[in-house]
């Protein structure tokens, strides 16, 4: 896949909202446990099928991030999930990192595993139908962190991952997530997010990553979830957009915000306000600004489904209702 194809694919992925259905085995187990359902490969398949076959999904969702288990599964009628999605005009993607591990002696600092053998895994995923990938680095705000070591290590790895993706012909989603965990201030999140994103793009340029074939999946600027002094939707949106305009290179194909533990309505309202403000500005980041939500697109659907076949149609309606809102929020039209 040449650069032109990478750019085309990247723009298609961010054309609407992106569904993050890439929960790891452990994460999907936890999510299903909240509705009293035990996770098995078959239960996981049934749940993902519910999402992917919802009537009208293609109106609001342009890309779906899959997990290793899911990309190998098929629908009830034997259609591989990547093919099922592609048939609806939705781009299939794949989570390729192997999770965060602690940096010894650095307390809350982590780096993300998965670079070893990445090219080979990406080649297989491409054969299975994946056109884009995702790699997540996480940063915990604490008195002693994140350290410069963690910031620089993750920036390096995100850039190298992106370069390997593009070499294989796959669009990379770069996800540097400053976690909402803790009681840190709004201002501290802002300053650290600027520092982290700046480091990521410095490394991306050093590695000669083609930024026009890259999608950024960042956090919004919020106070820690345990901080009683939360900012209003307008302040969060305005500050988040200021950070994008300050540090995200104009050539980046698109920005797809993560929800980071926000409720579905709040994550939707924040995205909508970001785009409303952006629509009023003459000078702003020119690429698409949308969402790549997991829980914020699925939370209500899981509750409606509750693991019961008789609830599938109802749950699909709930999912499509939220997907439509998130899609409209990506246009600033709610």
Domains of the chain: 3-329 (3.20.20.70)
User: For the chain, how many helices (H) and strands (E)?
Assistant: 13, 10
pLDDT category of residue 105 using cuts at 50, 70 and 90: confident
Distance of alpha carbon 163 from alpha carbon 156, whole angstroms: 11
The per-residue pLDDT of the chain, averaged, comes to 95
Angle at 60 between CA 57 and CA 66, to 5 degrees: 65
Q: Which of 289, 284, 287 is nearest to 326 (CA)?
A: 289
Contact 137, 100 (CB under 8 A): yes
Both structure tokens of 147: 């350290």
User: Model's pTM, two decimal places?
Assistant: 0.96
Q: Is the pLDDT of residue 2 over 70?
A: no
Higher pLDDT, 309 or 3: 309
Residue 228's pLDDT is what?
A: 83
The 10s digit of each residue's pLDDT in 167-202 is 999 999 999 999 998 889 999 999 999 999 999 999
Check residue 307 and give left, alpha or beta (phi > 0: left; psi -120 to 50: alpha): left
Q: Which of 305, 234, 309 is nearest to 34 (CA)?
A: 305
The length of the chain in residues reads 334
The residues annotated with a catalytic role in the active site are 175, 217
| Cα end-to-end distance, the chain, whole Å | 36
The 10s digit of each residue's pLDDT in 44-98 is 999 999 999 999 999 999 999 999 999 999 999 999 999 999 999 999 999 999 9
């Amino acid at each position: 896949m040449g650069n032109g194809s990478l750019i085309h694919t990247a723009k298609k992925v961010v054309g609407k909202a992106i569904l993050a259905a890439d929960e790891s085995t452990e994460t999907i187990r936890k999510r299903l446990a909240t509705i009293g359902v035990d996770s098995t490969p078959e239960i996981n398949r049934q749940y993902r099928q519910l999402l992917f076959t919802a009537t009208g999904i293609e109106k609001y969702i342009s890309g779906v991030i899959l997990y290793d288990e899911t990309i190998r599964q098929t629908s009830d009628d034997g259609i591989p999930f990547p093919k099922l999605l592609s048939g609806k005009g939705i781009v299939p993607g794949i989570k390729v990192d192997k999770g965060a591990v602690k940096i010894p002696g650095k307390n809350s600092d982590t780096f993300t595993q998965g670079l070893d053998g990445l090219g080979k895994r990406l080649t297989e995923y491409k054969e299975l139908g994946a056109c884009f990938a995702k790699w997540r680095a996480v940063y915990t705000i604490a008195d002693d962190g994140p350290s410069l070591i963690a910031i620089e290590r993750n920036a390096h790895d995100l850039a190298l991952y992106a370069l390997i993706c593009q070499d294989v012909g796959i669009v990379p989603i770069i996800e540097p997530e400053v976690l909402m965990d803790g009681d840190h201030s709004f201002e501290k999140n802002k300053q650290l997010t600027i520092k982290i994103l700046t480091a990521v793009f410095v490394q991306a340029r050093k590695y000669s990553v083609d930024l026009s074939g890259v999608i950024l999946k960042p956090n919004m600027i919020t106070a820690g979830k345990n901080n009683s002094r939360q900012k209003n939707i307008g302040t969060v949106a305005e500050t988040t957009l200021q950070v994008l305009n300050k540090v995200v290179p104009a050539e980046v194909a698109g920005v797809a915000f993560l929800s980071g533990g926000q409720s579905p309505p709040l994550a939707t309202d924040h995205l909508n306000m970001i785009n409303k403000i952006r629509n009023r500005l003459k000078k702003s980041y020119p690429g698409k600004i949308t969402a790549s939500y997991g829980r914020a697109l699925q939370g209500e659907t899981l509750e409606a489904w509750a693991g019961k076949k008789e609830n599938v149609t109802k749950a699909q309606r709930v999912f499509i209702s939220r997907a439509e809102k998130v899609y409209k929020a990506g246009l600033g039209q709610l």
